[in-house]
Structure 1
Amino acid sequence: MAVPGVNAVAAGQAWDAGAYARNGRFVADLAADLVDWLAPSPGERVLDLGCGDGALTEQLVERGATVVGADASPELVAAARARGLDARVLDGQALPFDAEFDAVFSNAALHWMKRDPDAVLAGVARALKPGGRFVAEMGAAGNVAAIRGAVHEAMARRGLDATAADPWFFPTLADYRRRLQAAGFEVAGIETFARPTLLPGDIRGWLQTFAQAFLAAVPEAGRAALVDEVRSALAPRLANAAGQWTADYVRLRFIATKKRPA
């Protein structure tokens, strides 16, 4: 499912399971075909890296896989456990597993693991058995560019360093292919694509759910005003005449296989 590495939590990005369900359920809903890319088989052991509240983890279990969910958010792990799932609070940049899994799955989580993305890939490679597959989707270069730009500009007007607060790692296809190969993966398929996404409500809800790391850098008394300012700046580009909002998502999706020993 969709959530961050521990560095995002440390940077001020916290998660409320109820707010996430209201404002972010589309993240899991739009990844149903990513489960088809993984094509889990009955009896396979799968790690769901960034499992969130377990919405996609449940789908893997329903296909017969034995699944371990891992997420840095205790709140979302608690929500996943409430579904009856095996979910654990773990740092995606320091995974403790050694050749335990047939596959690793991750949706909308890797871009939160900004502190050391190569450590994430090294940990995934360690966690997989030789020949195991890694199937994931994350934000790509250009993801939420309009939203991110408006937040950066609003913070700059207040003399705040948005770059230091920015919790996201959105790589290019070429960069991430290189990182995968350096970590010992053979890349079977990789693509980027624009996916403008209709939001379930106002952009305020999105900002309050996904942009907390930025808001945490703003004095509390000024946060609502910043959100309103960002909303006004984005309305001409991202809101339609009916008041519906669309986020400018760009995604990176891949399937890679851990190389077998020569």
Structure 2
Amino acid sequence: MTNDISPISSPTIDNKEQDDTWSSQKYVKNASFVPVLGAPVVKLLDPQAHERILDLGAGDGVLTIELEKKCKSVVAIDSSSDMIRAAAIIGCQDARVVDGHDLVDNALANGDFDAVFSNAALHWMKKDPVRVIQGVNKSLKTGGRFVAEMGGHMNVAEVRGGLHAALKKRGINNPEQYDPWFFPGVNTYKRMLEESGFRVDYIELIPRLTPLSTDVAGWIDTFGFMFMKPFENNEEEKKAIAQEVQNNLTFSQDEGVWHIMYVRLRFKATKIN
């Protein structure tokens, strides 16, 4: 097994074929605030010039490019081929399509990385969060660090609750099956990390009122698309649901700018075994 990871010039697909529901164009249009607000977690990571870093859930690679300026090399991975293509286009040196759930069995999980970084991505890995953490552990050197920020308990609660209510109103009694998010509290995620071989050095829930570059309906179109799966062939109904949720959040608008209350779970953990 090699101890070096050579950069590649175009994105590669390391996981099995899967539907890609993400749009990098919508992400740039409606979610440009995500990488901008990632500066505190980059500071917490404190990347060093000699380090190899894995960017888990790298999205369109905007923060990956910033990391590349500070360390020896970065491998950017994301489950979305559209996002990874966008990351390669902006110049990410090594961008790969890998689902975080599959990292534990991937060649990248070889104990070669000094750090694993993740911003605004882990809460999308709902199917098996512990398996994701185990993949991170296998990717790191002993003493390596896992630094991340994700949605935490009560994140976007008003929009999430509105989407659940809108689906129930339309006869879907179990909207949880279409809810793509995992927003844990401090105790839950700390326990997951510790049971997966990490020492938790810092973990905190951080409320953050977030101004949007779009309206709530646009935010739902970008991030809440999984709730629309029962209506995937009915564009009018999807628009009606998004508008209904927005109409019930009139107090979330101030001087023409819509806001959503984000709650971030930010942490730093060290691999001990």
The TM-score, its normalising length taken from structure 1, stands at 0.92
8 Å contact 1:184–1:259 — kept in the other structure? yes
Answering whether residue 153 of structure 2 is matched by residue 141 of structure 1, we say yes
Match of 1:239 in 2: 253
Answering whether residue 84 of structure 2 is matched by residue 70 of structure 1, we say no
Answering whether residue 140 of structure 2 is matched by residue 125 of structure 1, we say no
The answer to which of 16-25 and 105-114 deviates more is 16-25
- Cα deviation, residue 64, structure 1: 2.7
Partner letter of residue 250 of structure 2?
A
Task: Give unmatched runs, 5+ long, in structure 1.
Answer: 1-5
Match of 2:226 in 1: 213
SS in 2 for 1:69: strand
- Cα deviation, residue 136, structure 1: 0.2
Answering whether residue 100 of structure 2 is matched by residue 92 of structure 1, we say yes
- Cα deviation, residue 37, structure 1: 0.7
CA 213–151 in structure 1, closer or farther in 2 if over 3 Å, else same? same
SS in 2 for 1:122: helix
Match of 1:34 in 2: 41
Answering whether residue 25 of structure 2 is matched by residue 25 of structure 1, we say no
Partner letter of residue 247 of structure 2?
S
8 Å contact 2:52–2:71 — kept in the other structure? no
Match of 1:185 in 2: 198
One of 227, 230, 240 as aligned partner of 2:242: 227
One of 53, 56, 73 as aligned partner of 1:49: 56
- Cα deviation, residue 212, structure 1: 0.5
- Cα deviation, residue 22, structure 1: 1.1
Aligned-residue CA RMSD in angstroms?
1.4
**CA offsets, 1:8-45, max 9 Å, x none?**
x75xx711111101111101101112111111111210
**CA offsets, 1:98-125, max 9 Å, x none?**
1020000000100000000000000000
Partner letter of residue 40 of structure 2?
D
- Cα deviation, residue 155, structure 1: 0.8
SS in 2 for 1:46: strand
Match of 1:175 in 2: 188
Partner letter of residue 202 of structure 2?
G
Match of 2:125 in 1: 113
Task: Give unmatched runs, 5+ long, in structure 2.
Answer: 1-14
Partner letter of residue 235 of structure 1?
T
Partner letter of residue 92 of structure 1?
G
Cα distance in 2, alignment partners of residues 239 and 73 from structure 1: 31
SS in 2 for 1:94: helix
8 Å contact 2:147–2:269 — kept in the other structure? yes
SS in 1 for 2:189: helix
Match of 2:169 in 1: 157
8 Å contact 1:61–1:67 — kept in the other structure? yes
Match of 2:10 in 1: none
8 Å contact 2:59–2:87 — kept in the other structure? yes
Partner letter of residue 239 of structure 1?
Q
8 Å contact 1:40–1:65 — kept in the other structure? no
Match of 2:3 in 1: none
Cα distance in 2, alignment partners of residues 23 and 227 from structure 1: 14
Identity across matched positions, percent: 45
**CA offsets, 1:186-223, max 9 Å, x none?**
01111111001000121111010000000122251411
